[in-house]
Amino acid sequence: MKEVAARAIDGEAFRGALQLHAAGVVVITAESDGVPLGLTVTTFTSASLSPPLVSFYIDRGSASAPGLSSSAHFAANILAGGQSELAARFSRKGVDRFAAPTRWHLGPRGIPLLDDVSARLICSLDAATEIGDHILLVGLVMDVSVDPESRPLVYHGRRFGGFLPHPSPNGTSRPAEQKPEQKVD
């Protein structure tokens, strides 16, 4: 690890390269000692299909890190295109993220769930591992709800934005259906 650290680029160059990577925006919510907590992440990703696992990273210095890494359950609220203010609110320090105008309700196991999101995954914490200055959290997906008409919020170039798909060859925004290959004997 020391050899890798000696060759690593500086943080600003690293951030500059990563700001070119567009990412979906997710607010992770959980309950810790009866108090709702949450934060915005752009590191959310699927980790496995079988079993269904998702993962995300949080800064070890985050005020939410102790509560999230010790909560038995959490929700991954995938934000809709019009929820940039909500994403910004859950990334700010020193504010009550669950106060108005945040719209939310309690879900299973007391998990705070955000309203009007594109999709929501209810997870049980499967693993928490320190990696560098972050904690990798992995969750087993136990339930999912999806708004099929919603478009996601995207983060790119240190700004939030919407997603507009390119037209596909069939003239729609959906990919053309592929026909299964015919088996020839």
Mean pLDDT of 170-181: 55
Mean pLDDT of 84-101: 94
**Tens digits of per-residue pLDDT, 109-137?**
999 999 999 999 999 999 999 999 999 99
Q: Which pTM value belongs to this model?
A: 0.83
The pLDDT of residue 185 is: 47
The pLDDT of residue 16 is: 74
Helix, strand, coil shares of the chain, percent, nearest 5, are 15, 40, 45
For the chain, strand residue ranges (E) read 23-24, 26-32, 35-41, 45-48, 53-59, 73-78, 104-106, 112-114, 119-131, 134-146, 154-156, 159-161
Q: Give the Cα separation of 123 and 143 in Å (integer).
A: 7
The pLDDT of residue 9 is: 77
**Tens digits of per-residue pLDDT, 132-164?**
999 999 999 999 999 999 999 999 888 888 877
